[in-house]
Chains A and B, each alone.
Chain A
Amino acid sequence: MEYELVVVGGGPAGLSGALKAAQNGVRVAIVDRQEELGGQLVKQTHKFFGWSRRGAGIRGIEIGRRLRNAVLAQPHITVFTGTEALGYYPDNSLLIEGPSGVSRITGKTFLFATGAQERMILFPGNDLPGVYGAGAVQTLMNVYGVRPGRSVLMVGSGNIGLIVSYQLRQAGVAVRAIVEALPQIGGYAVHASKVRRLGIPILTRHSIKEAHGKECVEGATIWELDDKFRGIPGTEKDLDVDVICLATGLTPLGDLLWQAGVSMTYVPELGGFVPIYDENMETERPGIFVAGDAAGIEEASTAMLCGEIAGLAVAAKLGKIPRHRFEEERNVLARELAALRSGPLSSKVRTGYERIRALVQGRRGS
């Protein structure tokens, strides 16, 4: 089957890109390995931060539902859920595995919006069952209705660590402590105070020393860190926990992009290796676009905007809309994106994107 655009990943980025392209007459296929479209949004029970027109104040699950309904109502979009993209071939096809087995799907253009994966940290016992990524804990309890355990140590105080701690309490699970290596809390103050009101201690300059247990986690030792992030002997505390939840950051999920031969570069501000792409979200392999966390760890609101820019650029590339209309509309989206990224909390990602822009301009100049 040939489509004009194949979107890999049905999170906010992929769905927004698919919608924008389809609204401009592009025939789109969306492939997602989960059963339900929405990506991370299907497990976000909290009200979202971000800009009001982009769903701030609405729960993540509700934003996901709206996007999903819009996609399912769009006749130009074919949806393949429960279907994993396994590999890209240079003849513009993708190997996929779904309910009806393994097959190929061809596209004139591609949008890779595969999201992110969790980062692991080093400590003795980090491989024991009971050490789970924050995303896994969320999936287990918010999608499947199963508690990860009875008592949790949360590692990391970014928004994800704070929000998942809150969600654990909503599900009736105790959170003994949140440890944070840095001297200050990583996430927003609103989330931190919500968690503190529940009586969960947030210990800055602290980290996990080791996990205990033979077959699975039976406890954890935490300790204080010095200025060089080394543990201070004598400050150890044992915690009675059966789950250690890692919220120590995300890194873009770029396996398919590497495999497709897209040029990648290391940008720590964006979470690790990211594809190199221009202001239309197109990579250096013409016809391959990226958006969302796969292009740099950020948030749902910006993922949606970048997806829309990519979808619009695809429509322009395929000649569905005239150049001037594309540029007009793209500039509106780009301004919105710049406004979303203008706050002090976005300074890190701004640095990251400036690095990519500089790289692209340097290559164009040479």
Chain B
Amino acid sequence: MTGLRIEEHPVLDFPKRKKVKFFFEGKEMEGYEGEPIAAALHAAGVKVLHHSLKLGRPRGFFCAIGNCSSCLMIVDGVPNVRACTEKLREGMRVERQVGRGPSLAAR
């Protein structure tokens, strides 16, 4: 994993967790089980999670506690999932969402 993971910290301990594989836009990636999807993506260098409804501007997370809706993604086919709070699981398929995302009715 890239250098964004904190390995040593003067105050905090980050216990080792289980590594899992997941897919981002079809590409296989690695993260830790149970961490938010956005944390795993960020550590892997992915910052753009969404494109805005009107102008298609890139969006990342902003609040990281499930408040602001800046990080909505499509997870296992379900749109509007908050990537900053949804926990990563083995084999998850995560995609960037554009605007409101695909209609569930159309599936």
Name the residue in A45, A59, A132, A135 with the highest tally of chain B Cβ atoms < 10 Å from its Cβ: A132
A contact residues around B47 at 8 Å (CB): 129-130, 215-216
Q: Is A105 an interface residue (CB 8 A)?
A: no
Q: Majority SS of interface residues in chain B?
A: loop
Knowing A127-B52, A131-B62, A139-B64, the reply to whether A147 touches B11 (Cβ < 8 A) is: no
B interface, how many residues as a size bin? 20 to 34
* Contact (Cβ within 8 A) B11 A216: no
Closest A residue by C-beta to B66 = A33
Is B39's beta carbon under 8 Å from chain A? yes
Query: A147-B4, A216-B47, A216-B48 are contacts. A45–B12 as well, Cβ < 8 Å?
Result: yes
**A133 and B14 form a contact (CB under 8 A):** no
User: Contacts A45-B11, A129-B48, A171-B6 known; A139 to B59 CB distance under 8 Å?
Assistant: no
Q: Judge whether A128 is part of the interface by a CB distance below 8 angstroms.
A: yes
Docked-complex contact B57 and A59, CB < 8 angstroms? no
Supposing A170-B11, A216-B48, A253-B67 touch, asked if A141 and B62 sit within 8 A by C-beta, the answer is no
Size class of the A contact interface (CB-based, 8 Å): 20 to 34
C-alpha gap A118/B48 in the complex (Å): 21
**B81 is an interface residue with CB less than 8 A from chain A:** no
Report if B5 contacts A (CB, 8 A).
yes
- 20 A-B residue pairings within 8 Å (CB atoms): A33-B65, A84-B66, A117-B63, A127-B57, A129-B47, A129-B60, A133-B63, A135-B63, A135-B65, A136-B65, A139-B65, A140-B42, A142-B12, A144-B36, A146-B5, A147-B3, A147-B4, A147-B6, A170-B11, A216-B60
What are the nearest 7 A-B pairs in CB distance? A129-B60, A136-B64, A145-B14, A129-B47, A144-B39, A139-B64, A45-B11
